[in-house]
Amino acid sequence: MCGIIGYIGKKNIVDVLISGLKKLEYRGYDSSGIAILKENKIIRHRSVGKISQMEASLPSEFKNLSSKDDCIGIAHTRWATHGKPSEENAHPHIDCTKSFVLVHNGIIENYFELKTKLKKHKFLSDTDTEVIVHLIEENYNGSLIEAVKKTLKLLEGSYAFVLLSKYDPKKLFFARKDSPLIIGLAEDEKLIASDVTAMLEYTNKFIFLENEDFGEVSAKDIKIFNLKRDSIQQRPITLVNWSAQMAEKSGFKHFMLKEIYEQPQVLRENITSRVFGEDIIFDDELKFKKDLLKKIEKILIIGCGTSYHAGLVCKYFFENILKIPTEVDIASEFRYRNPILKNNTLAIFISQSGETADTLASLRLIKRYKLPTLGICNVVGSSLYREADSTIYIRCGPEIGVASTKAFTGQLISLYLFGLYLAKIKKTTSHQRYIELLNSLYKTPTYIENILSDTSFLKHLAELFYSKKDFLYLARGINYPVALEGALKLKEISYIHAEGYPAGEMKHGPIALIDKDMPVVIIATKGALLQKVFSNLEEVKSRDAKVIALTNYGVESKSIDYKIILPETDELISPILNVVPLQLLAYYIADILGCDIDQPRNLAKSVTVE
């Protein structure tokens, strides 16, 4: 949700913090702030709105920094939870004596109770965060690390925070629980941030902090402690082979468009690194013994938003090729519904960020039942990766646009490969069918390149329909979740109301919405249910709706007003292609409307709070 960065080193502190914050802006963008030490005094600046607004309004004391001490600071980009977006509520927050300043991501659930106990302290914001900095002030008795430790013992909820104090001006203090925090290692300088993308410009070496880690970092040294253990903790250094350029727009107008165009390359990378001849190989990322996999009788898939939609597609795929029941749940529902869990169930958790609070809570719940857990994740070293028994990385590179695109197709391709791998082990699909599906998967990157090579018709459709208030997306079978995903893309980036529906269910309610002003996007690519889709198409057309159909050459119907022709592929593989024009249609409509496509209102990329 929020983004944190801290730096200690020799570079211009304001430049490092502002450029890092810009990389983190996708995590929250309603207000931001920065605090540095200048001549051993904390100076702070905060502003509502985008980081560029905060940067433009920086007072002169943040400029022309010359002293060698001016190289330590912290900064924050906020997505409001407690307290509306305002300058007072923006981080960093400072204590009464102006000696401690802190940035925080997460939610302190018992902040109200703690606040009432801190009667002597003057609170200046409505945030839960402010309570932490006053507690540090209260608990400080000459040792900052002790003050941090004492404070952590009082906190309930989730936190990742970085603290700066004039009492120890060459160190940053940090702690994390259920919100990500990563230390970036470079020679004679250190960074600490919510996400590696903010640090890639300076280093590829990272330490991913564990839950309940806390500690201190100076330009040359790091000390990590853990609330549950007494000694200093050793944490592995992870090399992340993403480059700083991967987190740039590279000439595209928006990250979302760039990421849509990256899909062929992402899928190709996934296939070529895992498919060798007729074999699918998951090296050491898949830690399950084949005997365990052979015994799997049920699959449970959990995720949120787009990741949930990827899970729904896989339900159809897995049930078809594995012949075992596959249940898909929204994480925020699953974690509270006392699920009935049986042995020999494999639980799969899909999350681009690997930090989604509800998905992680569901994972922790399943782990209590001792079922095998598999993460499907993009962000290297994320909490999902560290907590699941095994994790398959979807290898998409950083996804910066808030609307997920390449992660969706990356999740699908990784899960499809895993499904085929499992089908081979469990012998649930004939060799011929296995090869057919593998061949079809091989062709998907080229087919997507084909779709992306000429988008003029999609732009034309966007021109025709951008002023509409409501859209309906319909499909059947394995493409029904793609209808949900198409509608989600449109609503989140263009703010146009859109609903995805199973085409056969439409006459049980949504048909009442249809009139001449309602564009209906229908997925009518070749497959077993095409004739059924046609019947639904007639129902829509006879209510005068404008019908936009995703279809293939040779599919004819007078009821289609606008045809988006796609390469023909196996029906089971078709969702990977069908979603691409829907991503683009949403993008072009939002672009005409002048929406803030990469950072839509009210959304955040990584939903680390419940």
Q: Select 299 or 396, whichever has its Cβ closest to ligand F6R.
A: 396
In whole angstroms, what is the distance from residue 168 CA to residue 158 CA? 25
In the complex, the smallest distance separating the C-beta of residue 493 from ligand F6R, rounded to whole angstroms, is 8
Q: Select 304 or 550, whichever has its Cβ closest to ligand F6R.
A: 304
In the complex, the smallest distance separating the C-beta of residue 312 from ligand F6R, rounded to whole angstroms, is 12
Please say whether the beta carbons of 371 and 341 come within 8 A.
yes
Stretch that binds ligand F6R, among 73-81, 243-251, 350-358, 388-396 (CB under 6 A): 350-358
Q: How many CA atoms, within 13 angstroms, populate the side-chain half-sphere of residue 157?
A: 24
Best CA proximity match to 157, nearest among 81, 87, 242: 81
Q: Does 353 bind ligand F6R (CB under 6 A)?
A: yes
In the complex, the smallest distance separating the C-beta of residue 56 from ligand F6R, rounded to whole angstroms, is 29
Determine the distance from the C-alpha atom of residue 436 to the mean position of all C-alpha atoms in its chain, rounded to a whole number: 32
In whole angstroms, what is the distance from residue 224 CA to residue 212 CA? 10
Q: Select 162 or 488, whichever has its Cβ closest to ligand F6R.
A: 488
Catalytic residue among 23, 190, 541, 605: 605
H or E stretch at 105: strand 100-108
Which strand ranges, in their side-by-side order, compose the sheet holding 222-226?
93-94, 100-108, 157-165, 172-177, 213-217, 222-226
φ/ψ bin of 519: left (φ > 0), alpha (ψ from -120 to 50), beta (otherwise) = beta
Helices (H), 278-395: 290-294, 305-322, 331-334, 357-368, 383-387
Please say whether the beta carbons of 146 and 135 come within 8 A.
no
Q: Select 203 or 479, whichever has its Cβ closest to ligand F6R.
A: 479
Q: Select 105 or 353, whichever has its Cβ closest to ligand F6R.
A: 353
In the complex, the smallest distance separating the C-beta of residue 549 from ligand F6R, rounded to whole angstroms, is 23
Q: Select 7 or 349, whichever has its Cβ closest to ligand F6R.
A: 349
Biggest CA-to-CA distance, the chain: 80
In DSSP notation, 93-160 reads: EE-TTS-EEEEEEEEETTHHHHHHH-TTS---SS-STHHHHHHHHHH-SS-HHHHHHHHHTT--EEEE
Q: Select 487 or 529, whichever has its Cβ closest to ligand F6R.
A: 487
Best CA proximity match to 152, nearest among 127, 177, 171: 177
Three-state secondary structure call for residue 301: strand
In the complex, the smallest distance separating the C-beta of residue 580 from ligand F6R, rounded to whole angstroms, is 14
Q: Determine which residue in the list 148, 163, 302, 403 makes contact with ligand F6R, applying CB under 6 A.
A: 403
> With DSSP H G I counted as helix, E B as strand and the rest as coil, what are the percentages for the chain, rounded to 5?
40, 25, 40
End-to-end CA distance of the chain: 10
In the complex, the smallest distance separating the C-beta of residue 24 from ligand F6R, rounded to whole angstroms, is 15
Total residues contacting ligand F6R by CB under 6 A comes to 15
Written as one letter, the residue type at 526 is K
- What residue is closest to ligand F6R based on CB? 305
In whole angstroms, what is the distance from residue 333 CA to residue 358 CA? 9
Q: Does 139 bind ligand F6R (CB under 6 A)?
A: no
Q: Determine which residue in the list 352, 552, 574, 599 makes contact with ligand F6R, applying CB under 6 A.
A: 352
Please say whether the beta carbons of 518 and 472 come within 8 A.
yes
Q: Does 266 bind ligand F6R (CB under 6 A)?
A: no
Q: Select 93 or 335, whichever has its Cβ closest to ligand F6R.
A: 335
Q: Determine which residue in the list 359, 383, 479, 583 makes contact with ligand F6R, applying CB under 6 A.
A: 359
Other beta carbons within 10 angstroms of residue 510's beta carbon come to 15
Q: Determine which residue in the list 172, 590, 607, 609 makes contact with ligand F6R, applying CB under 6 A.
A: 607
Stretch that binds ligand F6R, among 180-188, 225-233, 351-359, 557-565 (CB under 6 A): 351-359
What is the pattern of x (binds ligand F6R, CB under 6 A) and - over residues 468-507? --------------------x---x---------------
The DSSP code for 229 is: B
Q: Which two tokens stand for residue 548?
A: 């936009």
Q: Determine which residue in the list 32, 89, 383, 404 makes contact with ligand F6R, applying CB under 6 A.
A: 404
Three-state secondary structure call for residue 549: strand
Q: Which two tokens stand for residue 487?
A: 């509608």
In the complex, the smallest distance separating the C-beta of residue 607 from ligand F6R, rounded to whole angstroms, is 5
Three-state secondary structure call for residue 480: helix
Q: Determine which residue in the list 89, 129, 179, 351 makes contact with ligand F6R, applying CB under 6 A.
A: 351
Q: Select 75 or 361, whichever has its Cβ closest to ligand F6R.
A: 361
Question: In terms of C-beta density within 10 A (0-12 exposed, 13-18 middle, 19 or more buried), how is residue 497 classed?
Answer: middle
In the complex, the smallest distance separating the C-beta of residue 411 from ligand F6R, rounded to whole angstroms, is 8
What is the pattern of x (binds ligand F6R, CB under 6 A) and - over residues 293-332? -----------xxxx-------------------------
Q: Determine which residue in the list 151, 179, 197, 356 makes contact with ligand F6R, applying CB under 6 A.
A: 356
The answer to whether 605 is a known catalytic residue is yes
Q: What amino acid positions are annotated as catalytic residues? A: 2, 605
Which residues of the chain form contacts with ligand F6R (CB under 6 A)? 304-307, 351-353, 356, 359, 403-404, 488, 492, 606-607
